[in-house]
């Protein structure tokens, strides 16, 4: 016999019916099952897979990996510390901070505090310190030091191990030179302890700005890279230098023993590793 149950559904009256256990909802979920185990990678059995993960991981992922185990920390630190940024934070300059050079900036260590083993991995250092900073940190294998404009005369550099290459950025802003008229001179002193001094010059002044370089010490190679955006820049009394980017306009060069290279050719060669400091 067909009849309706308490919920209004048609059912066979001859069959056993239990209103407490009978369900017609198709969305009914059965007994909970145990969660599946999370996938795991045995890095000792597949080291090549770990190498690929570390090689292509962004800095944030490298930081997370370095905090999971001592083995992964040792595996990731060479990449994290290869190119770092050294900065101080106003108004407290008692501590220095090492962060990733690329954005987003991730703090890696507060100095003093980083281990010598970590600092030994640093090949390129971006230095953004106030000129009054006189702290010293030892980077035993430093090859390239890129100094922010405010850090060019920082006393810190006197105590820095001699990097093979120093990259400086000089900013000549229009607000400093416009409306004065005439010729204005900026004297720039090279670091005496490096082998190669690279200077990026950016200017936007409408006035005729003149920048003069003191002669580099014997054996120091100098490269001047021009980034014009307006006005005229005069490079005067230069000796023994390679000038990059004159063809881009906005500069007059006066000097002796000069070599000239196009910006594109320089960037295709050694310039790909010696770009200007970025804020």
Please tell me the total number of residues recorded for the chain in this structure: 279
**What local confidence, expressed as pLDDT, does residue 277 receive?**
81
Residue where the block lists tokens 């820095």: 160
Residues 69-121: pLDDT tens digits? 888 888 898 999 999 998 886 555 567 888 988 888 888 888 777 788 888 89
Phi/psi of residue 9, nearest 5 degrees: -90, 145
**What local confidence, expressed as pLDDT, does residue 206 receive?**
63
* Percentage, residues of the chain above pLDDT 90: 15
Higher pLDDT, 50 or 215: 50
Q: How far, in Å, CA of 33 to CA of 228, rounded?
A: 68
Q: How confident is the model at residue 189 (pLDDT cuts 50, 70, 90)?
A: low
The model carries a pTM of 0.74
Q: How far, in Å, CA of 139 to CA of 152, rounded?
A: 18
Phi-psi region of 30 (alpha: psi -120 to 50; beta: other; left: phi over 0): beta
Residues 224-249: pLDDT tens digits? 999 887 777 888 778 889 999 998 87
């Amino acid at each position: 016999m067909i009849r309706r149950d308490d919920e209004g559904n048609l059912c066979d009256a001859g069959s056993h019916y239990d209103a407490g256990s009978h369900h017609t909802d198709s969305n009914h979920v059965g007994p909970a099952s145990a969660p599946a185990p999370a996938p795991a990678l045995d890095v000792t059995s597949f080291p090549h897979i770990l190498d690929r993960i570390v090689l292509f991981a962004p800095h944030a992922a490298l930081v997370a990996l370095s905090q999971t185990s001592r083995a992964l920390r040792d595996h990731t630190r060479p990449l994290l510390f290869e190119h770092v940024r050294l900065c101080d934070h106003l108004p407290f300059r008692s501590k220095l901070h090492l962060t990733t050079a690329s954005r987003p900036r991730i703090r890696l260590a507060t100095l003093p505090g980083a281990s010598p083993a970590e600092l030994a991995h640093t090949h390129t250092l971006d230095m953004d310190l106030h000129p009054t900073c006189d702290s010293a940190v030892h980077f035993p294998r430093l090859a390239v030091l890129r100094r922010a404009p405010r850090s060019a005369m920082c006393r810190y550099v006197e105590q820095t191990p001699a990097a093979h290459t120093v990259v400086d950025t000089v900013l000549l802003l229009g607000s400093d030179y416009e409306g004065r008229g005439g010729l204005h001179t900026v004297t720039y002193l090279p670091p005496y302890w490096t082998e190669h001094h690279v200077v990026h010059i950016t200017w936007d002044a409408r006035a005729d700005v003149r920048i003069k370089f003191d002669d580099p010490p014997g054996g120091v190679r100098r490269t001047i890279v021009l980034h014009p955006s307006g006005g005229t820049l005069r490079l005067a009394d230069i000796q023994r230098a390679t000038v990059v980017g004159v063809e881009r306009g906005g500069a007059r060069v006066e000097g002796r023993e000069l070599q000239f290279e196009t910006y594109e050719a320089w960037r295709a060669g050694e310039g790909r590793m010696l770009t200007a400091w970025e804020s």
